[in-house]
Chain A
Amino acid sequence: MSQPDLPLSPPVSDEVRQTTCYMCACRCGINVHLRGGTVSYIEGNRHHPVNKGVLCAKGSAGIMQHTAPSRLRAPLRRVGPRGSGEFEEISWDEALETAVSWLKPLRESAPEKLAFFTGRDQSQSFTSFWAQGFGTPNYAAHGGFCSVNMAAAGIYTMGGAFWEFGAPDWDNTKLFMLFGVAEDHDSNPIKMGLGQLKARGAKVIGVNPIRTGYNAVADEWVGITPGTDGLFILSLVHCLLSAGRIDLDYLARYTNAPVLVNGQAGAADFGLFLRDADGKPQVIDRHTGKLAAWDAPGILPDLRGELVQDGVTHRSVMHQIAQTYLTDAYTPEAVAERCGIPAARIRAIAALLAKTAFEDAIEIDQPWTDFRGERHATMTGRPVAFHAMRGISAHANGFQTCRALHLLQILLGAVETPGGMRFKPPYPKPADAHPKPHAKAAPDQPLDGPHLGYPQGPDDLALDADGQPLRIDKAFSWENPLSVHGLMHMVISNAHAGDPYKIDTLMLYMANMAWNSSMNTRAVMEMLTDTDADGAYKIPRIIYSDAYSSEMVTYADLILPDTTYLERHDCISLLDRPISEPHAAADAIRWPVVAPDRDVRGFQSVLVDLANRLGLPGFVEGGVPLYADYAEYITRHQRKPGIGPLAGWRGSGEDTGRGAPNAQQLDRYIANGGFATFPIPPEAQFYKPWNRAYQDYAVGMGFYDAPQPYLFQLYAEPLQRFRLAGQGHGPHQPPEHLRAQVAERFDPLPLWYDTEHDTGQADEYPVHALTQRPMAMYHSWGSQNAWLRQIHGQNPLYVPTRLMRAHGLQDGDWAHVTSAHGRITVPVVEMAALNDNTVWTWNAIGKRKGAWALSEDAPEATKGFLLNNLIHELLPPKGDGLRWSNSDPITGQAAWFDLRVRLEKAPPQTQSQPATPAQSSPVPPAPKARP
């Protein structure tokens, strides 16, 4: 029998258009194939700096997202009671005029009565600019309930953070240590990096209570007890210090380890740096033995520095590090039981770190010059890299744990050196080069500056004259002074309670706050519909923009339907959260590769329209709108002269970084595949905070206007300023009920403490409960996707073998899971590769019936569930009548992973509990066949 004659070169598609993925936060480049004018296939863009051609399951399933039956179709106005899901379709003009009729009076009288929070927004430099023009202090995105601890600790400690602002040096590292849940930040680059490490046999250690995903391929798995990562890390620090396995040269030159600290206990400046007349922290120069400013040319700072001045002893930070971490509290034997890791194993890991960093050091033959003017012949690398994200972040001790991890990296000399962690432009950028918070609202005026920033001490808090929070989420208040990403998870709760004040309009973008993005989901739904005695809603008005029929849509009064990611302009900007890689700055766009087939508009263009109608400063000059839509804003907006949202093809098309706006800029990006890269010169590739060549590159690109070298802040002086306030010093004092918390938690050197849940609930609720995100899903979006829901259509509770046996459970049985806050009833499945005292599930798979255009008997709605129902945004009452937030006391990071529960076997069920009644869908039921 002869073989059929196969066409081996069939046409692939009619056309390829290159844009940026939005199936998660990773922002890979994609080739969108079109056939007959519709999207036919999506693959990775080989030339793109983030994904270099590869694409994850989410990205490849983008076609199913783009065609999902859950897509909203037109603006909607609520006609039934809030929460009933009864809407009528209205025109855009009517929708926008309705919004203006609500917002304009607020702007003219009390702009803070608008709270605008933006979820998974990838245009924060734009949305915050809009909110600033409006004049409300109440703006933030979702970082507060995501990974703000990681970002804040990174920037306060080393002027950069993991993921968007830093990455392991995959090309050179020999040992990679991954802490906690990090699957989705940053999705493809971590997988690509792990592949690189595996291909050359580099070692991978996973520290995670759960052995899935990246931990499944790790050579070593450390199934740590949740919430104890900081203690484990500080024990590694103890081991390395006691063995002298630290990079003394690096510490002396590039960190504040040699900076002198006031040692006069009880004094108002105790624990602050010795500074010269210019305010520069002082060190002892080993060449002269004399005091010198940290950045004086030619000096070699002395780690052993000690000086008595005016009767006060000042000792170097290095003294304090030795005093703090060489105590018995941090020996492996002391921490082993609490961490669930044998002492011998902690020592083995510390020894491996020591060996790899110092015996297997690498040398790159690349001369460079440091900021003190010293020329170095080579670049020395400590090939040990770390990564962490929400896993260690989402605990009430997360900020200090993240700081501890950075301390470990820096002691090893493994940041911004070959084989360690490398920053991505526009980072490095130290905390004190960032803005400070601004929150002073005035009628008819823009806000006095950017909302979010990095406080350097109590002077910078966002408080009124009476010490009350200026922001609805209480960011930058004594409850959480360094809440640099805001606290989106507290907005609805605080607005409902009128604490610290009542608001009028809540405007949300792309944030499923009535479901998986809120703690205490059931109560949040009640808060959104709750009324005063006179029948008025406690949160009077809610405007929501989303592309899809999410659970949050039901609670809006006005819905502004967004486009899909293939139908819109976007800008992945260096002013914001760019797509840079360590070797090159980079930015990117999205553009409408297909036109919407519904009456929907990109939310950013809608904001431009609203700004024009409201006459917002920055958008309207002399009564004339500056931009017709977001695309015009992207090309024409200048944050300061010559600096705009996109860095490529400025001016006449020849300028990079700085240059006049260029009307052809978007066309140039499209012609280049939707992105631009700006390579860093070889001499500037490492030691960026201290490297003259990098500093010059950064100034040329417009990241800053003059070189700004700085030292890594092992000792964080801003924290000491807060601690001094907690101890009674200074004009700004915390309220009495927070005084002890501030004094204890704001240690300027990383510390570890048990969280409230561990100290208060361990006996009654002995089991840790966690969530993680599957690699094939991104928060609530995945379940509407016909392909992805076939991969992850259910989320059982995974229970370790020990607990399965103890409770007589078998796969498919049901269990009641109870926390101090509530009870859920869910299906269980056994998992052996799991910490013995931890249960977990995939987050955001559980759906409310009627949402996302799924049928009401979809497994996501019948067997799916949220752990959110067990987690309160407040700690259990302490009997003092106060509302204690379930957050990190330093940053306000939502402490999702502090959850503790107990299990008991339940009778067989057909429906997970609590079963929220179905919501009525604003879109028609999905067709039987997929699009």
Chain B
Amino acid sequence: MTCLPDKTDRQLGLVIDLDTCVGCHACVVSCKGWNTEHYGAPLSDQDPYGADPSGTFLNRVHSYELRPEDAPAQLVHFPKSCLHCVDAPCVTVCPTGASYKRTEDGIVLVNESDCIGCGLCAWACPYGARELDLAAGVMKKCTLCVDRIYNDNLPPQDRTPACVRTCPAGARHFGDLSDPASEVSQLVAERGGFELMPEQGTAPANRYLPPRPKDRWQDDASVLAPFLEPVAQEPKGFLGWLDRTLEKL
């Protein structure tokens, strides 16, 4: 068993805007690229050119259809990676102490040299956010690019997770969720950001911003109607209106 810190100085995490995510997978691949080259074992692929290609990804985008009763069906793109929970069950279940939560920033990491690849943490994670790398035999998970965010070799503006830096739609935000004044906290407050599966009691750090209401055109139809108040119903009337209007210009 491994202990969680009583408290962390900060709690870094991601805020992901489901109203803006177009499901392009840019974050997925950028993450794959960075973390293949950095932090621990490379993210391997099995059968990459064969019948059943699979590999380790720290971030995946899932797509779900919603079928509201009174509106057309919707498609929601849902990127998912480790949520860096305050009460991270993946840490407490770890038999070797390899899984841990950093006291300075709350990032949940795997110390690969202590990881025996038993997979208990992946079982314990209710979000399915950990993947055992089949080539390295160690557990892989989102590091919030801990090797980017403090990296003096990167220009200051690049000290952000690879997925955030690359997101074309700007749907991913990174910051300290324990600070109510931080930009991410304010975004969560403004947009009603929510925790994923709070009933699990994991207190995830990451938040999701919900899609805004869609297909509400009927609500506005009566307000908008005056803007189409006809000046003419047929060409002759229109040309008459044109005459009158041009005189006034």
A394: chain B residues at CB < 8 Å are none
Q: What is the CA–CA distance of A568 and B42 in the complex, to the nearest angstrom?
A: 28
B73 within 8 Å of A by Cβ? Answer: yes
Output the least CB separation between B245 and chain A (Å).
6
A241: chain B residues at CB < 8 Å are 232, 238
A61: chain B residues at CB < 8 Å are 29, 32-33
Is there contact, CB below 8 Å, between A248 and B249?
A: yes
Partner pick for A776 among B19, B24, B51, B231, CB 8 A cutoff = B24
Is there contact, CB below 8 Å, between A221 and B214?
A: yes
A787: chain B residues at CB < 8 Å are 29, 32, 45, 55
Is there contact, CB below 8 Å, between A194 and B37?
A: no
Is there contact, CB below 8 Å, between B228 and A245?
A: yes
Most chain A CB neighbours (cut-off 10 Å) among B3, B111, B224, B234 = B224
Is there contact, CB below 8 Å, between A832 and B229?
A: no
Q: What is the CA–CA distance of A359 and B228 in the complex, to the nearest angstrom?
A: 12
A218: chain B residues at CB < 8 Å are 214
A12: chain B residues at CB < 8 Å are 38, 151, 153-154
Q: What is the CA–CA distance of A42 and B34 in the complex, to the nearest angstrom?
A: 9
Partner pick for B246 among A13, A40, A63, A304, CB 8 A cutoff = A304
Output the least CB separation between A361 and chain B (Å).
13
Which residues of chain A in 839-862 are interfacial with respect to chain B, using CB atoms and an 8 Å cutoff? 853-855, 857-859, 862
Is there contact, CB below 8 Å, between B17 and A198?
A: yes
B151: chain A residues at CB < 8 Å are 8-10, 12
Which residues of chain B in 62-93 are interfacial with respect to chain A, using CB atoms and an 8 Å cutoff? 65, 67, 72-77
Most chain A CB neighbours (cut-off 10 Å) among B74, B77, B150, B168 = B168
Is there contact, CB below 8 Å, between B224 and A43?
A: no
Q: Which residue of B lies closest to A832 (CB)?
A: B73
Is there contact, CB below 8 Å, between B168 and A219?
A: no
B175 within 8 Å of A by Cβ? Answer: no
A152 within 8 Å of B by Cβ? Answer: no
Partner pick for A855 among B25, B50, B220, CB 8 A cutoff = B50
Is there contact, CB below 8 Å, between A57 and B235?
A: no
Output the least CB separation between B128 and chain A (Å).
17
Output the least CB separation between B146 and chain A (Å).
7
B203: chain A residues at CB < 8 Å are none
Known: A9-B150, A195-B170, A347-B225. A243 touches B230 (CB 8 A): yes
Question: Which of A46-54, A435-443, A447-455, A514-522 sits within the interface?
Answer: A46-54
B10 within 8 Å of A by Cβ? Answer: no
Is there contact, CB below 8 Å, between B224 and A10?
A: no
Is there contact, CB below 8 Å, between B168 and A41?
A: no
B136 within 8 Å of A by Cβ? Answer: no
Is there contact, CB below 8 Å, between A57 and B245?
A: no
Q: What is the CA–CA distance of A302 and B243 in the complex, to the nearest angstrom?
A: 10
A671 within 8 Å of B by Cβ? Answer: no
Is there contact, CB below 8 Å, between A216 and B29?
A: no
Output the least CB separation between A168 and chain B (Å).
15
What does the 1/0 interface line of B154-169 toward A look like (CB < 8 Å)?
A: 1001100010011111
Q: What is the CA–CA distance of A787 and B33 in the complex, to the nearest angstrom?
A: 9
Known: A194-B20, A833-B75. A326 touches B234 (CB 8 A): yes
B14 within 8 Å of A by Cβ? Answer: no
Question: Which of B95-103, B118-126, B176-184, B194-202 sits within the interface?
Answer: B95-103
What does the 1/0 interface line of A125-160 toward B look like (CB < 8 Å)?
A: 000000000000000000000000000000000000
Is there contact, CB below 8 Å, between A1 and B49?
A: no
Partner pick for A249 among B65, B162, B249, CB 8 A cutoff = B249
B17: chain A residues at CB < 8 Å are 198
Residues of B within 8 A of A (CB-CB), count: 91
Partner pick for B166 among A55, A239, A358, A928, CB 8 A cutoff = A55
Inter-chain contact total with CB atoms closer than 8 Å: 287
Output the least CB separation between A744 and chain B (Å).
22
B30 within 8 Å of A by Cβ? Answer: yes
Is there contact, CB below 8 Å, between B147 and A54?
A: no
Is there contact, CB below 8 Å, between A211 and B23?
A: no
Q: Which residue of B lies closest to A926 (CB)?
A: B49
Is there contact, CB below 8 Å, between A57 and B28?
A: yes
Output the least CB separation between B141 and chain A (Å).
15
Size category, A interface = 35 or more
Question: Which of A348-356, A466-474, A812-820 sits within the interface?
Answer: A348-356
Q: What is the CA–CA distance of A194 and B53 in the complex, to the nearest angstrom?
A: 32
Is there contact, CB below 8 Å, between B224 and A348?
A: yes
Q: What is the CA–CA distance of A46 and B146 in the complex, to the nearest angstrom?
A: 21
A199 within 8 Å of B by Cβ? Answer: yes
B188 within 8 Å of A by Cβ? Answer: no
A242: chain B residues at CB < 8 Å are 228, 230-233, 238
A199: chain B residues at CB < 8 Å are 20, 170
B76: chain A residues at CB < 8 Å are 216
Most chain B CB neighbours (cut-off 10 Å) among A349, A790, A791 = A790
Question: Which of A315-323, A365-373, A624-632, A879-887 sits within the interface?
Answer: A315-323
Output the least CB separation between A858 and chain B (Å).
6
Output the least CB separation between A359 and chain B (Å).
7
B41 within 8 Å of A by Cβ? Answer: no
Q: What is the CA–CA distance of A744 and B230 in the complex, to the nearest angstrom?
A: 31
Partner pick for B53 among A33, A326, A345, A786, CB 8 A cutoff = A786
Which residues of chain B in 233-249 are interfacial with respect to chain A, using CB atoms and an 8 Å cutoff? 233-235, 238-239, 241-243, 245-246, 249
Q: What is the CA–CA distance of A327 and B37 in the complex, to the nearest angstrom?
A: 64
Which residues of chain A in 150-203 are interfacial with respect to chain B, using CB atoms and an 8 Å cutoff? 187-188, 191-192, 194-196, 198-199
A279 within 8 Å of B by Cβ? Answer: no
Q: What is the CA–CA distance of A523 and B45 in the complex, to the nearest angstrom?
A: 37
B146: chain A residues at CB < 8 Å are 6, 8
A4 within 8 Å of B by Cβ? Answer: yes
Known: A44-B166, A833-B74. A212 touches B246 (CB 8 A): no
A187: chain B residues at CB < 8 Å are 168
Is there contact, CB below 8 Å, between A217 and B19?
A: yes
Q: What is the CA–CA distance of A286 and B37 in the complex, to the nearest angstrom?
A: 70
B185: chain A residues at CB < 8 Å are none
Q: Which 6 A-B pairs have the closest CB atoms?
A: A926-B49, A832-B73, A191-B168, A351-B224, A786-B48, A195-B170
Beyond known contacts A194-B169, A926-B48: 17 more, CB 8 A cutoff = A11-B153, A56-B24, A61-B32, A199-B170, A211-B73, A216-B23, A241-B238, A302-B246, A344-B218, A348-B221, A350-B228, A351-B224, A352-B220, A786-B53, A858-B51, A928-B50, A929-B44
Q: Which positions in B face A, CB cutoff 8 Å? A: 2-3, 17, 19-26, 28-30, 32-34, 37-38, 44-45, 47-55, 57, 65, 67, 72-77, 97, 100, 102-103, 109, 111, 113, 146-147, 150-154, 157-158, 162, 165-171, 211-212, 214-218, 220-221, 224-225, 227-235, 238-239, 241-243, 245-246, 249
List 14 interface pairs A-B (beta carbons < 8 Å), by A numbering.
Answer: A3-B103, A4-B100, A51-B168, A54-B168, A57-B26, A195-B169, A213-B22, A213-B23, A243-B230, A245-B227, A318-B242, A322-B235, A351-B221, A832-B65
